[in-house]
């Protein structure tokens, strides 16, 4: 028999014949793979509410269902590896507590797959929803870092737009008074310009914000320094305008303050209006003849002018057991 075949065929003809036979057997097994083989899979339910007047109050109940598939073993193996979902569309809501009958075509099956959904258990899931509300809320700007040396803000940061639309569950939206932005890194600003900034959506859940990003107009100019000598240190007054104690000694009584900012703002500061103030709450509880180291805060400066006191704290001593009075003497 081998003599009747070409050499390329007759060489190792027994091995080649065995390989052909094995190929036929494997092909036959694949072709005869039982198409009716079934498997049960746990599939998560994803509810998609199309009615803008409602939103989900929580996960579907139950959050997963058991789905029986029928199909080729290779597709079942792929499904076990990749998983799938049941996407439940809810375009019309008639009640805050809704029972939805599940459909087999809601189970996501890859295109070209030979899988067939045979059964879903349970046959329905419960959705708890709540009304949504829309509001306009202001934005809250946050910054990190500092401007490069020699630069200062020439104008307040200008947002566009100033407010955003917010839609979500009544309780969630009602608890908000503003929407935060992602921090703007001032150290990256080299010149005036308009910078895009996204919303900080951490903790906002399913709340929808429109638009999702805004722009901030940053105006910078060269900065100058100005030194104020002998800025008085004074005790701060309470809400009623009174000073806690009648006789206080503050050391040092005056401090030097360095001002930094753009030229028009720094040169416009009136030195006689600048004060280093000891906070009222830092003086409460000071006993007679007792002294305390307390911080100071600069008052009388424009918003975009940076003030740096030569010291960040002073010593306050209560000389006598005076009474609270609006007519106080400070030594």
Q: Each residue of 199-244: pLDDT tens digit? A: 999 988 889 999 999 999 999 999 999 999 999 999 998 777 777 7
pLDDT grade for 255, boundaries at 50, 70 and 90:
very high
Domain ranges of the chain: 38-130, 132-221, 223-330
For residue 33, the model assigns a pLDDT of 45
> Which pLDDT value is given to residue 240?
77
| pLDDT at residue 18 in the model | 64
Distances (CA, A) of 285 to 106, 246, 292: 70, 13, 10
- Domain 132-221 falls in which CATH fold? RNA Polymerase Alpha Subunit; Chain A, domain 2 (2.170.120)
The pLDDT value given to residue 244: 72
CA distance 101 to 120: 10
Burial status of residue 318 (CB atoms within 10 A of its CB: 0-12, 13-18, 19 or more): buried
In tens, the pLDDT along 128-140 reads 999 999 999 999 9
Instruction: Quote the pLDDT of residue 268.
Output: 95
What integer is the mean pLDDT of 291-312? 95
Q: Is the pLDDT of residue 304 over 80?
A: yes
Give the C-alpha separation, 142 to 181, whole Å: 7
Whole-number percent of the chain with pLDDT over 90:
67
pLDDT of residue 237: 85
> 173 pLDDT exceeds 60?
yes
For 223-330, CATH number out of 1.10.3720.10, 2.170.120.30, 3.40.50.2300, 3.90.180.10 equals 2.170.120.30
Q: Taking 90 as the threshold, does the pLDDT of residue 194 lie above it?
A: yes
Given pLDDT bands bounded at 50, 70 and 90, which one contains residue 122? very high
Model pTM greater than 0.85? no
**pLDDT (0 to 100) of residue 177:** 95
The mean per-residue pLDDT over the stretch 51-70 comes to: 93
Q: Which of 29, 90, 72, 56 is nearest to 172 (CA)?
A: 56
* CA end-to-end distance (rounded Å), the chain: 127
Tokens of 159: 């947002």
Q: Residues 140-169: pLDDT tens digits?
A: 999 999 999 999 999 999 999 999 999 999
- Contact between 137 and 164 under an 8 Å Cβ cutoff? The reply is yes
CATH of 38-130, one of 2.170.120.30, 3.30.43.10, 2.60.40.10, 2.120.10.30: 2.170.120.30
Among the listed residues 288, 283, 286, 291, the one whose alpha carbon sits nearest the alpha carbon of residue 251 = 291
């Amino acid at each position: 028999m081998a003599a009747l075949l070409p050499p390329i065929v007759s060489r190792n003809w027994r091995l080649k014949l065995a390989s052909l036979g094995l190929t036929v057997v494997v092909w036959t097994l694949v072709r005869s793979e039982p198409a009716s083989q079934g498997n049960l899979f746990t599939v998560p339910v994803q509810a998609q509410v199309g009615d803008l007047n409602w939103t989900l109050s929580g996960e579907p109940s139950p959050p997963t269902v058991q789905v029986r598939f029928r199909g080729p073993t290779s597709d079942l193996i792929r499904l076990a590896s990749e998983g799938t979902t049941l996407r439940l569309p809810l375009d019309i809501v008639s009640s805050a507590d809704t029972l939805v009958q599940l459909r087999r075509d809601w189970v996501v099956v890859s295109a070209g797959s030979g899988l067939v959904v045979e059964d879903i258990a349970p046959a329905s899931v419960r959705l708890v929803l709540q009304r949504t509300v829309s509001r306009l809320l202001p934005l809250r700007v946050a910054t990190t870092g500092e401007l490069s040396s020699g630069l200062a803000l020439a104008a307040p940061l200008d947002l566009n737009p100033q407010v955003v639309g917010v839609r979500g569950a009544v309780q969630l939206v009602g608890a908000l008074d503003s929407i935060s932005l992602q921090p703007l890194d001032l150290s990256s600003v080299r010149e005036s310009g308009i910078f895009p900034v996204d919303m900080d959506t951490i903790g906002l859940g399913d709340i929808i914000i429109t638009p999702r990003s805004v722009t901030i107009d940053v105006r910078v100019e060269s900065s100058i320094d100005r030194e104020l000598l002998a800025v008085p240190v004074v005790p701060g007054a309470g809400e009623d305008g009174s000073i806690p104690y009648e006789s206080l000694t503050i050391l040092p009584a005056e401090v030097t303050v360095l001002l930094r900012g753009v030229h028009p703002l720094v040169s416009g500061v009136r030195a006689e209006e600048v004060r280093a103030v000891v906070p009222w709450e830092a003086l409460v509880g000071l006993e007679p003849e007792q002294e305390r180291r307390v911080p100071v805060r600069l008052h009388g400066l424009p918003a975009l002018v940076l003030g740096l006191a030569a010291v960040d704290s002073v010593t306050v001593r209560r000389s006598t057991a005076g009474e609270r009075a609006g007519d106080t003497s400070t030594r």
